[in-house]
Amino acid sequence: MHIRKLDPSTFQPSYGVTCTRIFPSPESGDTPFNAYWSLIEPGGASQLHRHHEGEAFIVVRGTGIMTVDDETEPVDVGDVIFMKPLTDHTLANASETEQLLFMNVYWEDIKLLLAEDDEEEAAAPKGVLTLAYPTPPNPNGDVHLGHFSGPFLSADMYIRHRRMMGDPAYMVMGSDDNQVWTATMAEARGETPQQTADHFAHKIDETLQMSRIDCHYFFHPNATGLNRQMLDNAVSKLYADGHLVAKDAPALWCESCDIYLFEALVRGKCPHCDAECCGHSCEECGLPNQTVDVKDAKCAHCKSTPVERNVRRLFFPLEPHREMLEEYHRKTIMSNQHRALITRLMGDELPDICVSHLCDWGIPVPMEGFEGQIVSAWFEMAFGYLVGTEELAQQEGIEGGWRAFWCSDEARVVEVFGFDNCWNHGVWFPAVLKAFDANANPPGAFLSNQLYRLDNQKFSTSRDHAVWARDILAMNSPDTVRCYGAYTCPESEQTNYTREAFAQFVEEELIGKWQGWLSSLQQRMDTLYGGKIPEAGAWTAPHLSFLKRLKGFLDDATEAYSLEGFSPQRAARTACQLVHAGNEFGKSESAWASSPTAHNELRTSLALELAAARCLAMITQPLMPDFSNHLWSCLGYGEPLKEWETEPHFVTPGQMVTGLSDDYFPTPVISED
């Protein structure tokens, strides 16, 4: 016997309470659960947290208030509170005088954990109003492959998949006309900034159409008065409510040009990582700066070193929104890199964000006392999302306008952006939105990506180190460009594009393996069945094993298109693996054809191979819509493929297979020379 006496002097602080471990102990050896005594002092509470284990609290002395996710209940001695994995929980001492003693027991149950997740998936409501909104690009150039393989392709794949899942899902894009970059480029082109903005916005829209990025609404912020009206209203309201404050603060000033420097007008080194950067934030490490802290700052125009001058501008103090943000971050889906960056930022004191600048391009601050100042284009963007959504809703006849998406617990808003935008979208935009309208919900999920590199260097419009999406699309099919973009998508790390690797991928994988398999399938179908799809006949163990593999590929793709596991790379790679498996299976099956009496097994094999081709059409529908539609119609379907399936299905027997041996993928052209 071993008796462990209750001894509060051995308790150590943890999660806001004091604890001591009971099991496992040296006497018990490994136990299949962990048990602790925990004490909460009068008025105290355990820190809100979640973990993957199942857990139970058993109250032994005192009274408490238990909160699990959105439920709150009083608890007493003898109560046993059970919490499922991954639920947020906290226990508060209800008494002002007495300690609360409880035992907590937790245990690992991977099955329960995975079952929870499956249940959630199964319970996912159908028909969720969905919006994906990639960050509007600066209209100072066309779309390069870096933009394309990041936010645009991701948003498009995600929305196409949601539509297959039955959701009314939309993608809105726009151009960020009022950025100072536009004015800079306009000067170089000898145009007005709006002329420049319109020129490139039109180009961008056209390029997206060429690449089958299915944008449902393209938002031009200065096209109607709506954007300015919304921003005037928001700035005035936030100022009146005290969320925006006027403050004299140091700013950079170029004495030689006699201009106030901000964003694109200042060049220097990031105060965090020393990479080249402008005012506002760093593309390399994703961290924000305060402009005055940019190292070796120079005026972008004349290259001279600026001085500091106090300028009275509008600021949005972020620190008061800390609690709201912490809660928001807990329940929002985002990549772990994004969450890590946010956690790091939230660990420091949150800054006052400068949201007005001395500039003559942009939307003027509507209040008196800020003459000559415009509202920062970033701040404008936070509301531009709402205006773009409003205009989409008007076009589509969606009742409730922007509020249908942004003020409803039933809707889903996903923002899609490059890593350098995590700070804006993840931290201060949500606070600004909530301060503006307490009923609004910031996005429920973010899809973010890292930088795409060209020949191992950063894409750069100014240095002309870029592959323009328009150029490569003019010479290659959208399918090949999309597939390779997803295959090499910079998800968890920067990836590199080379023209040679693209050409090799198209030649070896798409033409060699994909086209090779489908051609062989067509030839065998023609020879054996005159192209008419047979019904499956006799089944063998390898037949069944192949069907299971098809199910596995669909599961992988379903996960790759979900918010939680979103991965264009995995979607593209799963499609390739499916083709390889189909190809090997096809070869392994060719033996039946030479056995005159094996016709029942043979037709099962062909039916399964055609089911594999059907799965390929399914998996590639969000990724390579033209190819998927072509393949689908080759399989004899008259109606387009609309619905996502998580089980493999046979192609309807009796349908005619045609055209699979047509050369579908053009030989890659990688240079105009």
What residues numbered 527-586 form the site for its own copies, per CB under 8 A? Answer: 536-545, 547-549, 551-552, 555-556, 559, 562-565, 584-585
Number of residues counted as binding its own copies (CB under 8 A): 116
What is the spatial distance between Cα 367 and Cα 383, in angstroms, rounded to a whole number? 18
DSSP 340-397: HHHHHHHHSPPPEEE-EEE-SSSPBP-STT-TTEEE-HHHHHHHHHHHHHHHHHHHHT
Of 84 and 630, which has the nearer Cβ to its own copies? 84
Does position 89 interact with its own copies (CB under 8 A)? The reply is yes
The answer to whether the beta carbons of residues 383 and 234 sit under 8 Å apart is yes
Cβ neighbourhood burial of 120 (10 Å; 0-12, 13-18, 19+): exposed
End-to-end CA distance of the chain: give it in Å, rounded.
Answer: 86
The answer to whether the beta carbons of residues 208 and 134 sit under 8 Å apart is no
Does position 80 interact with its own copies (CB under 8 A)? The reply is yes
What is the spatial distance between Cα 158 and Cα 563, in angstroms, rounded to a whole number? 8
Q: Which of 167, 170, 223 has the alpha carbon at shortest distance from 194?
A: 223
CB of 648 to its own copies, least distance (A): 6
Of 7 and 368, which has the nearer Cβ to its own copies? 7
Does position 77 interact with its own copies (CB under 8 A)? The reply is yes
Of 404 and 635, which has the nearer Cβ to its own copies? 635
Of 373 and 567, which has the nearer Cβ to its own copies? 567
Of 304 and 590, which has the nearer Cβ to its own copies? 590
Segment 585 to 604, residues that bind its own copies, using CB under 8 A: 585, 587-589, 591-592, 594-598, 600-601, 604
Of 84 and 144, which has the nearer Cβ to its own copies? 84
Identified binder of its own copies from the candidate list 11, 14, 22, 519, rule CB under 8 A: 22
Segment 447 to 476, residues that bind its own copies, using CB under 8 A: none
Identified binder of its own copies from the candidate list 19, 65, 86, 358, rule CB under 8 A: 86
Does position 28 interact with its own copies (CB under 8 A)? The reply is yes
Identified binder of its own copies from the candidate list 13, 32, 125, 530, rule CB under 8 A: 32
Alpha helices, H only, 211-294: 226-240
Q: Which of 515, 457, 447 has the alpha carbon at shortest distance from 157?
A: 447
CB of 248 to its own copies, least distance (A): 32
CB of 435 to its own copies, least distance (A): 24
Only segment of 77-85, 143-151, 309-317, 374-382 that touches its own copies (CB under 8 A):
77-85
- Residue 25 phi/psi, 5° resolution? -130, 165
The answer to whether the beta carbons of residues 494 and 453 sit under 8 Å apart is yes
What is the spatial distance between Cα 172 and Cα 193, in angstroms, rounded to a whole number? 23
Pairing mode, strands 295-299 and 266-269? antiparallel
Of 289 and 356, which has the nearer Cβ to its own copies? 289
Of 339 and 403, which has the nearer Cβ to its own copies? 339
The answer to whether the beta carbons of residues 475 and 672 sit under 8 Å apart is yes
Segment 49 to 68, residues that bind its own copies, using CB under 8 A: 49-52, 54, 56, 58, 60-61, 66, 68
CB proximity list for 250: less than 8 A, separation 6 or greater:
292, 308, 309, 310, 311
Does position 10 interact with its own copies (CB under 8 A)? The reply is no
Only segment of 18-26, 198-206, 226-234, 365-373 that touches its own copies (CB under 8 A):
18-26
CB of 463 to its own copies, least distance (A): 27
- CA angle (235 as vertex; 231, 240 as ends), nearest 5: 150
Does position 493 interact with its own copies (CB under 8 A)? The reply is yes
DSSP 482-537: HHHHHHT--SSS-EEE-HHHHHHIIIIIIIIIIIHHHHHHHHHHHHHHTTBPPPP-
Torsion angle of C-alpha atoms 236, 238, 239, 244, degrees rounded to 10: -140
Identified binder of its own copies from the candidate list 249, 333, 350, 670, rule CB under 8 A: 333
Only segment of 84-92, 189-197, 358-366, 464-472 that touches its own copies (CB under 8 A):
84-92
Segment 301 to 320, residues that bind its own copies, using CB under 8 A: none
CB of 560 to its own copies, least distance (A): 9
Segment 115 to 154, residues that bind its own copies, using CB under 8 A: 115, 117
Segment 197 to 226, residues that bind its own copies, using CB under 8 A: none
The answer to whether the beta carbons of residues 446 and 333 sit under 8 Å apart is yes
Of 193 and 288, which has the nearer Cβ to its own copies? 288
Identified binder of its own copies from the candidate list 46, 211, 335, 488, rule CB under 8 A: 335
CB of 638 to its own copies, least distance (A): 13
Compute CA 268 distance to the chain's CA centroid, rounded to the nearest angstrom.
30
What is the spatial distance between Cα 277 and Cα 401, in angstroms, rounded to a whole number? 38
Other Cβ atoms closer than 10 A to 606: 25
Identified binder of its own copies from the candidate list 17, 101, 557, 610, rule CB under 8 A: 101
Identified binder of its own copies from the candidate list 107, 217, 239, 459, rule CB under 8 A: 107
Only segment of 79-87, 225-233, 255-263, 352-360 that touches its own copies (CB under 8 A):
79-87
